[in-house]
Amino acid sequence: MANIKNKTQAVKSAPELARTDSRADASLLSRLSDPAIIRTFTDEQLRVLADEVRANTIAAVSRTGGHLGAGLGVVELTVALHAVFSTPEDRLIWDVGHQCYPHKILTGRRDRIHTLRQGGGLSGFTKRSESEYDPFGAAHSSTSISAGLGMAVARDLEGGGRNVICVIGDGAMSAGMAYEAMNNAGSLKSRLIVILNDNDMSIDRPVGAMSKYLTRLVSSRTYIGAREAGKKVVDMFPLPLRHAVKRVEETARMALGTGTWFEEMGFYYIGPLDGHNLDHLLPVLRNLRDSPYPGPVLIHAITKKGKGYAPAETSDDKMHGVAKFDVITGSQHKAKAAAPTYTKVFAQSLIAEARHDKKIVGITAAMCSGTGIDLFGKEFPDRMFDVGIAEQHAVTFAAGLASEGYKPFCALYSTFLQRAYDQVVHDVCIQNLPVRFAIDRAGLVGADGQTHAGSFDIAYLGCLPHMILMAAADEAELMHMVRTAAHYSDGPIAFRYPRGEGTGITLPDRGKILEIGKGRIVREGADVALLSYGTRLGECLRAADLLQEKGLSATVADARFAKPLDRELIRQLATHHEKMITIEEGAIGGFGSYVLEFMNEEGLLSKCRLRTLHLPDIFQDHHTPEKQYEEAGLVAAHIARKAYRNI
């Protein structure tokens, strides 16, 4: 079997990795005052550099937590790309920032790598404002080819000669946007290099000595030039002979890999090759850098997620997302949960409802464990569907199921549902189909920062006719909303809940069916009304306690529904209080705006002054969730201060 010996040798023990990191001050990395120095290293030095980058990546993530496996899988590829291409003049785009930590280490951020995902520290994703070496911000997947093609066309319009390289993971290739971009790239014929980081295929068969030689051959200037010249000659042949010659070349290239499909998309295919072997990577990349080939090229690189760190390689998820961990053992330092997570409560509630209703099915888009749908799938494997990184398809697929009388629960993160907005509008709401949207990661998400913060779903769903909107104040309320959604079949319905642990409230055996559009009074008061939508209810109750110390009596209410509003509840609060404050974990234009408009229409603003508290009109940087909500002014002290000063 090819390269088994090399592969085994590459997997260093944890103590060896720790020792490598401790020698960092005398390393090649310490010499990189300018990333351009990488291009002066010999091939042997680049191999040493790759080992040092891997050790630094492991050491950094062990201290901060974050995404480990994806970065370890592209260490050699990252070193090779920066050694061959003149970044940042040559544009290097990483699809999904999970794999960008080695890139950050090599591009002047090694001294800050220990601040990854910490408040005021480095982002866990590529970020344009962070470094000139990050030409495009990426945290959602499948965007790199589209962005890279835009940069390539801009270069062509300017008459420039820079290279544009996109690195896209094979998981990201399951999204339609990647294929739309490839189709466009194939027709435009702009020079573009796409590297398919394929970490889901055995590397034994395609990376033997013959494959290495042939792959280098087809990437060479001589072969490419001869092939293009040959095409011009073949175009003069009669049609039957032209087709025969084409089939001969396709057959020969099929012997190297699986590139015919990419060739049909208009890409020149090279591969597959071992993405961990610099002897394979460097010659191919240098050939392409020096090649006059004018069109798009795809390099198929086979990699192994978690490569070079035994605990990651043997982990089921390859240590994709980790808490702080011990480098020697790989054991993660996860705090013991005080309460079940909202995600788990959702999953268990959905399972409970599905036991009573065979029409219930679960759908997600490559986020089985993240949404809890994996738990549902273990009990109902025939009723769980993971459609891949394809949120648009997930929503329309759910609409199709709903049109046939099934009860689909489409479980997506708030920010991922954004990618399917057109389908929510046209395929679900216009047809008034009863798709149930379980919106995870609603509100602020801490270390994942701007790109994963669920800030906008209240506003972007609330403006859609037929849509019912709910937000759970705690785990028990979430259980009620799952059952309510399962019972509701008059149209689309959505319920949102945050990341992380719940409040620890006692849970019922099964949720109850809520009356649509009805909230609840949690605490009675006389001076000010605090109307909460979502999990800020606990902070509102604490704010009421603070106001009580100031001699003010506060009513605390849980709206439960943003659409339809509980008009009777709002009238009652406005009639009996001088002031009302709405509190929500969403952007401006959401729940507070709906309440404000209703009170204006009803003439209630002359009786009760209304203030709305919501997330600030900015993209908040990553930090702990507690600090983010403090910065947003959605904690008890701020709520109480707002009420006291404006009473």
Question: Cβ–Cβ contacts within 10 Å for residue 511, how many?
Answer: 23
Residue 82 in 3-state DSSP?
A: helix
The amino acid at residue 330 is G
313 with 14: CB under 8 angstroms? Answer: no
Rounded Cα distance, 473 and 479, in Å = 11
Residue 93 in 3-state DSSP?
A: strand
Residue with tokens 């090779």: 80
504 with 338: CB under 8 angstroms? Answer: yes
639 with 530: CB under 8 angstroms? Answer: yes
Residue 436 in 3-state DSSP?
A: strand
What does the chain come to in residues? 647
357 with 409: CB under 8 angstroms? Answer: no
Rounded Cα distance, 472 and 541, in Å = 15
Q: How far is CA 626 from its chain centroid?
A: 21
Q: Sign of torsion, CA 419 422 427 430? A: positive
Closest CA to 70 of 348, 305, 296: 305
Rounded Cα distance, 182 and 103, in Å = 24
Rounded Cα distance, 565 and 580, in Å = 15
Rounded Cα distance, 112 and 155, in Å = 32
189 with 294: CB under 8 angstroms? Answer: yes
Rounded Cα distance, 43 and 281, in Å = 11
Rounded Cα distance, 490 and 435, in Å = 10
Contacts of 422 (CB under 8 A, 6+ apart): 392
Rounded Cα distance, 570 and 307, in Å = 57
**Tokens at residue 137, please?**
């911000």
Rounded Cα distance, 513 and 471, in Å = 14
Residue 382 phi, psi (nearest 5): -85, -5
Q: Which residues are catalytic?
A: 305, 391, 419
Residue 113 in 3-state DSSP?
A: helix
Quote the DSSP letter at residue 121.
S
Question: What is the rounded (10 degree) CA torsion for 116, 122, 126, 129?
Answer: 170
Query: What's the half-sphere exposure (Cβ side, CA atoms, 13 Å) at 145?
Result: 27
